[in-house]
Amino acid sequence: MQYDRDLESIQAVRNLIRNAVKARDALASFSQEQLDHICAAIAKAGEAHAEELAKAAAEETGFGVWQDKVLKNLLGSVMTWDYWKSRKIIGVLHEDRTNGLMEIGVPVGIIAALIPSTNPTSTVLYKTIISLKAGNAIIISPHPNAKRCIFDTVRIIAEAALQAGCPENAIQVIELCTMEATNALMTSRDIGMILATGGEAMVRAAYSSGNPALGVGPGNGPAFIARSADIPAAVRRIFDSKTFDNGTICASEQSIVTESVIAAAVEAECDRQGGYFLSAEESAKLSKFILRPNGTMNPQIVGKPASVIAEMVGISIPAGTRVLLSKQTTVDAKNPYAREKLCPILAYYVEENWEAACLRCMEILHLEGVGHTMSMHCNDESVIREFALKKPVSRLLVNTPAALGGVGATTNLAPALTLGCGAVGGSATGDNVGPCHLSDIRRVAWGKKELSALRGLSSAAVAEPQYKPVPSGAAVSDFTPEQIAEITKRVLARLGA
């Protein structure tokens, strides 16, 4: 009998979930030491096959540079594991018998892991390690355009995990890839958490599934070059970042914003390091190719080098060009240069001073990428602090390549390929997602007071205050620290504390 593909895929997902439930129940009895042994084996397998899987991903998707994907695979495996291996996620985490409190980490159950085509093999490695570290089973939903390399990755790490004592079917993958299959996975009542990395529509679907979800929105991070910056180093870091795997990491820079007093020096350095400033005519020609008619990014430019993009649109550029730059003065949804571009294309803005640059960066972020990441190249601590206080991002990266700094390769942030965007970006967290986000905390609390004691507040404690009433309209700033301390003391006395 010939079954409809969508119905067949839904049934296949139901079978995967049934298997995962058994694995979940088995993992619930595993100690942190047992889980760590499994994760170490997965990380070792990822390291051993990093080059093989990198080449498979580049060949299948046509995105990026396989040599850079090797580093991504190492970040998703050994670097992720090295960061988390000594941390306890499951079991008794904290015990305070004096105050009668205990905290216990427990798995959320089954992780539904949605994998993008831009970072397919590395994201599978990373999500599997953080899921198993927290005692969870995982079901992987591949992007259809990267399914073969994802299947290879799952096969390699599942075999390594089984040999390390992992329960059967703790690591599974959807082999019949349809939207219906992914939807059936996300909406199943047996799913404990959805880890959604990919397009905005998919992330919204994850948050609308009815299950807990951790999703990330698009990146569109500007890179600010301040007058105090080491300009050659700043341009080098930006270009290294923007050309790393041909710009497929969402934390990579999308715009350069600088001050007019150093603009000539910045532009000269861009020219020297392989940047090419498009003419107005060339910018207009390329702009029609960056976005599709529906306003989304043209997949033909994703992960392609500057030379290939220029050839696609019929622009002649110098040999050795690494990055295409377009001088811009506006930020709006119809300006493709102000949007996310997962390839070596940068918008270039010049502002009068750092205050104006600060406003321009916020304008860019609020158009797209709010809550995600931005970078700045600056040696003035006061300016850095002002940006940190005002920018609506979860990661402000200073003097580092944003693509690698955001994922924790060149910074001490947690290594991660799912970067939270915080509430301002519509995400449940602003963290680099790790195993601590895939577990719940069970709190045990011993009684320390009796009801009779709570009811037995003395008349003195509830008597009218013996101090002057607070004037109407008074603000906290109107009181001295001593007055605030006295008011706090009296409030606590009223509550019987």
pLDDT at residue 281 greater than cutoff 90: yes
Q: The whole model's pTM is what?
A: 0.89
Measure the CA–CA gap between 474 and 340, rounded to whole angstroms.
Answer: 47
Identify whether residues 338 and 461 lie together within a single domain.
no
- Percent of the chain topping pLDDT 70: 93
CB atoms within 10 A of CB 297: 18
Partnered with residue 113 across adjacent β-strands are 140, 195
Measure the CA–CA gap between 134 and 37, rounded to whole angstroms.
Answer: 12
pLDDT at residue 459 greater than cutoff 60: no
Q: Does residue 429 belong to any structural domain of this protein?
A: no
Both structure tokens of 45: 């397998």
Residues 197-212 have pLDDT tens digits of 877 777 888 888 999 9
Measure the CA–CA gap between 247 and 423, rounded to whole angstroms.
Answer: 26
* 250 in active site: yes
Identify whether residues 206 and 304 lie together within a single domain.
no
Identify whether residues 91 and 156 lie together within a single domain.
yes
> pLDDT at position 473, please?
57
Contact 297, 345 (CB under 8 A): no
Helix (H) or strand (E) holding 402: helix 402-406
Residues 6+ apart with CB under 8 A from 251: 219, 221, 372, 373, 395, 397, 402, 403, 405, 406, 407, 419
State whether residue 335 is helix, strand or coil: coil
Identify whether residues 169 and 229 lie together within a single domain.
no
The closest of 346, 375, 342 to 361, measured between CA atoms, is: 375
* pLDDT band per the 50, 70, 90 thresholds, residue 65: very high
Identify whether residues 184 and 246 lie together within a single domain.
no
Mean pLDDT (whole number) for 228-238? 98
User: Phi, psi (5° rounding) for residue 353?
Assistant: -155, 180
> pLDDT at position 487, please?
74
Q: Does residue 298 belong to any structural domain of this protein?
A: yes
Mean pLDDT (whole number) for 349-369? 96
pLDDT at residue 415 greater than cutoff 80: yes
Q: Does residue 24 belong to any structural domain of this protein?
A: yes
CA of 51: how far to CAs of 65, 69, 245, 316, in Å? 11, 8, 14, 34
> pLDDT at position 203, please?
80
> pLDDT at position 494, please?
65
Contact 105, 133 (CB under 8 A): no
Site of tokens 């880890």: 195
Q: Does residue 418 belong to any structural domain of this protein?
A: no
Which residue among 166, 177, 250, 361 is the active-site one?
A: 250
> pLDDT at position 460, please?
47
Contact 136, 113 (CB under 8 A): no
Lowest mean pLDDT among 214-218, 227-231, 237-241, 289-293: 214-218
Measure the CA–CA gap between 78 and 447, rounded to whole angstroms.
Answer: 44
State whether residue 149 is helix, strand or coil: helix
Domain enclosing residue 465, as ranges: 457-495
Identify whether residues 34 and 79 lie together within a single domain.
yes
Burial 359-387 (b: 16+ CB within 10 A, else e): ebbbbbbebbbbbbbbbbbbeeeebbeeb
pLDDT at residue 218 greater than cutoff 60: yes
Contact 170, 20 (CB under 8 A): yes
pLDDT at residue 440 greater than cutoff 60: yes
Mean pLDDT (whole number) for 254-276? 98
Q: Does residue 158 belong to any structural domain of this protein?
A: yes
- Percent of the chain topping pLDDT 90: 84
Q: Does residue 170 belong to any structural domain of this protein?
A: yes
Site of tokens 């990919």: 198
Identify whether residues 24 and 50 lie together within a single domain.
yes
Residues 391-413 have pLDDT tens digits of 999 999 999 999 999 999 999 99
**Selected residue with higher pLDDT from 489 and 212:** 212
Measure the CA–CA gap between 110 and 93, rounded to whole angstroms.
Answer: 21
For residue 353, give the CATH number of its domain: 3.40.309.10
pLDDT at residue 119 greater than cutoff 80: yes
What is the number of structural domains in the chain? 3
Q: Does residue 124 belong to any structural domain of this protein?
A: yes
pLDDT at residue 250 greater than cutoff 60: yes
Contact 57, 149 (CB under 8 A): yes
For residue 88, give the CATH number of its domain: 3.40.605.10
Both structure tokens of 279: 């003419």
Identify whether residues 197 and 318 lie together within a single domain.
no
Half-sphere exposure of 125 (CA within 13 A, CB side): 36
Identify whether residues 72 and 140 lie together within a single domain.
yes
Rg (CA), the chain: 26
Identify whether residues 233 and 360 lie together within a single domain.
yes
Q: Does residue 234 belong to any structural domain of this protein?
A: yes
* pLDDT band per the 50, 70, 90 thresholds, residue 452: confident
pLDDT at residue 21 greater than cutoff 70: yes
Site of tokens 């390929």: 417
Both structure tokens of 5: 């593909």
Task: State the average pLDDT for the chain.
Answer: 93
Contact 241, 404 (CB under 8 A): yes
Identify whether residues 322 and 369 lie together within a single domain.
yes
Q: CA-based angle 142:143:148, to the nearest 5? A: 70
Identify whether residues 35 and 157 lie together within a single domain.
yes
pLDDT at residue 457 greater than cutoff 70: no
Measure the CA–CA gap between 258 and 226, rounded to whole angstroms.
Answer: 6
> pLDDT at position 226, please?
98
